């Protein structure tokens, strides 16, 4: 099935000077329709949700998206042909590109061949030259924001783009971008420059060539941790593309090439107009055919229904969203509606929670057993019957006391209920298996990791009106340094595992609780 779907019954027949013909999809911010101008030109019209139209902040953001998309022009981007941010429901019309997104093409037909990835790289680099030349940083370049047209790619969605002079990571603590394609500087909160888009470009090319991003898949916290602390996985990238992609994914933005330099590395484009794989070209032709077969105007409705004959759409569920959504965006990630629909029906995944961490009885029991064994061995050496010299026996006695005390301490920990901490979009939830305590982000004034040697803790400081929860054991919610100790981070685990858990919890706090996270 193509991306063009029948208009839903509640859709308007006209937006501005454009007659709506079909639905292209529905997103978190609104709906996208295929329409015709008065002169017969096909366009894609994005219309905001009615409930968002009452928000002055949303209208300002929509107005900014229109201005920025217009400032770039149509060079490898979808040209804006009309807009009204002040309408009852703000809308924007762009040229209609009858091609799939890169994400849809790779999902349905597999990775692109090396020749096509090079052509994609050239088109995207040229688009970034135009975007940066207009004084903007896109900040959300990803496979679902790249349309594949017969003459080259198009970059869409300027919903979170920013002017260079104001392109910082946060606005009132909001983190912008998509996990897996964020640059390291976006994750840690450093200054964002045009080179941040170059990092995203490198990630997009890895996806196009392999079908997966350079930092894998998984929870948001895991993705942002890998971006900052691990090397990208380029093991499946064709060798001929590695020299082009590696410089884009350098952690230091100052050492990444500019888009103009990338164009030099790519070299002159191929003269072959059929740069897309045959399956994708066929899909594009099918969408051209659908476009030609659409009526000049939608059927007239009578009292909200079709005059003749009634369509199945009146009794079916609304059409599926236009594009397979990216990993569920936490409250801190901002995106916008997309322009084209999927080639196949898409069922959204079940809602996922945030990052979870759990204390371990098994690990504590293992360490306790090891210390108890060491204490028994030391006691045997310290015994008078061992025949060991007095100095050795004395040292063994000291070792016995140390190991025995450690074993007792670990035993106490094993007997306590394990704790689970869930750091997610709505706050922090601590559970011991029978009871839970929830700390919403609005009740927290500050949160950080108190990394004290072998006993690091998640600590929070509550707002003045918030009441400290009752303890769930293991020292949770006890006062310390004017705040509350919430969760003991891997006290029972070995050093490297503890350090890894500390790093991942910090990443989760920075992502989900960016407005209150203290990185110190």
Residues recognised as catalytic = 140
Chain center to CA of 260 = 27
As to burial, measured by CB atoms within 10 angstroms (0-12 exposed, 13-18 middle, 19+ buried), residue 450 is middle
Contact 45, 18 (CB under 8 A): yes
Contact 222, 423 (CB under 8 A): no
Length of the chain: 520
Closest CA to 95 of 151, 38, 156: 156
Q: CA 423 → CA 219, 328, 418, distances in Å?
A: 11, 14, 17
Other beta carbons less than 10 A from residue 433's beta carbon: 11
Give CA–CA dist 81/87, Å, rounded.
16
**CA torsion through residues 20, 289, 286, 121, sign:** negative
Give CA–CA dist 226/212, Å, rounded.
14
If you ran DSSP here, which 8-state letter would residue 7 be given?
P
Residue ranges of alpha helices (H) inside 427-512 are 495-512
Chain center to CA of 265 = 29
**CA torsion through residues 175, 205, 352, 489, sign:** negative
Closest CA to 250 of 274, 232, 276: 232
Residue ranges of alpha helices (H) inside 152-258 are 184-188, 194-210, 220-229, 242-245
Chain center to CA of 180 = 6
Contacts of 37 (CB under 8 A, 6+ apart): 17, 18, 43, 81, 93
Give CA–CA dist 275/84, Å, rounded.
36
Closest CA to 103 of 184, 19, 197, 180: 180
């Amino acid at each position: 099935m193509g991306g063009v779907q029948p208009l839903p019954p509640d859709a308007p027949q006209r937006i501005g000077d454009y007659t709506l013909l079909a639905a292209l999809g529905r997103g978190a911010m609104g709906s996208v329709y295929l329409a015709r101008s008065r002169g017969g030109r096909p366009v894609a019209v994005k219309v905001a949700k009615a409930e968002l139209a009452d928000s002055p902040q949303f209208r300002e953001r929509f107005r900014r998206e229109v201005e920025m998309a217009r400032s770039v022009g149509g060079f490898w981007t979808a040209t804006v042909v009309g807009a009204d941010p002040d309408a009852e429901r703000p809308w924007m019309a762009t040229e209609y590109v009858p091609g799939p997104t890169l994400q849809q093409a790779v999902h349905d037909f597999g990775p692109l061949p090396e020749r096509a990835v090079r052509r994609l790289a050239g088109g995207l680099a040229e688009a970034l030259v135009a975007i940066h030349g207009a004084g903007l940083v896109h900040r959300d370049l990803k496979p679902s924001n790249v349309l594949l047209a017969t003459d080259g790619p198009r970059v869409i969605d300027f919903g979170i783009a920013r002017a260079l002079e104001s392109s910082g990571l946060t606005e009132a603590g909001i983190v912008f971008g998509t996990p897996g394609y964020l640059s390291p500087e976006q994750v840690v909160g450093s200054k964002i420059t045009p080179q941040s888009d170059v990092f995203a470009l490198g990630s997009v090319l890895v996806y196009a060539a392999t079908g997966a991003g350079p930092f894998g898949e998984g929870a948001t916290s895991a993705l942002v941790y890998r971006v900052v602390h691990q090397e990208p996985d380029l093991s499946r990238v064709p060798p001929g593309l590695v020299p082009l992609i590696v410089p884009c994914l350098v952690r230091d933005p100052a050492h990444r090439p500019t888009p103009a330099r990338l164009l030099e590395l790519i070299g002159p484009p191929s003269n072959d107009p059929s740069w897309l794989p045959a399956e994708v070209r066929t899909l594009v032709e099918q969408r051209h055919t659908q476009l030609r077969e659409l009526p000049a105007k939608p059927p007239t409705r009578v009292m909200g229904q079709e005059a003749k004959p009634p369509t199945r759409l009146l009794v079916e569920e609304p059409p599926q969203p236009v594009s397979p959504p990216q990993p569920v965006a936490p409250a801190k990630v901002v995106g916008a509606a997309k322009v084209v629909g999927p080639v196949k029906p898409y069922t959204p995944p079940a809602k996922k929670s945030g990052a979870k961490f759990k204390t371990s009885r098994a690990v504590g029991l293992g360490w306790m057993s090891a210390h108890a064994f060491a204490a028994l061995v030391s006691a045997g050496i310290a015994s008078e019957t061992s025949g060991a010299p007095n100095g050795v026996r004395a040292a063994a006695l000291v070792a016995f006391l140390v190991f025995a005390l450690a074993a007792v301490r670990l035993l106490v920990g094993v007997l306590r209920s394990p704790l689970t901490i869930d750091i997610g979009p709505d706050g922090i939830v601590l559970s011991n298996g029978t009871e839970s305590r929830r700390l919403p982000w609005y009740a927290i004034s500050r949160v950080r990791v108190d990394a004290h040697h072998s006993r690091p803790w998640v600590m929070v400081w509550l707002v003045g009106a918030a009441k400290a929860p009752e303890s769930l054991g293991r020292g949770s919610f006890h006062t310390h340094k004017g705040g509350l100790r919430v969760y003991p981070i891997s006290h029972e685990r070995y050093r490297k595992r503890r350090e890894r858990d500390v790093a991942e919890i910090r990443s989760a706090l920075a992502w989900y609780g960016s407005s209150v996270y203290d990185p110190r």
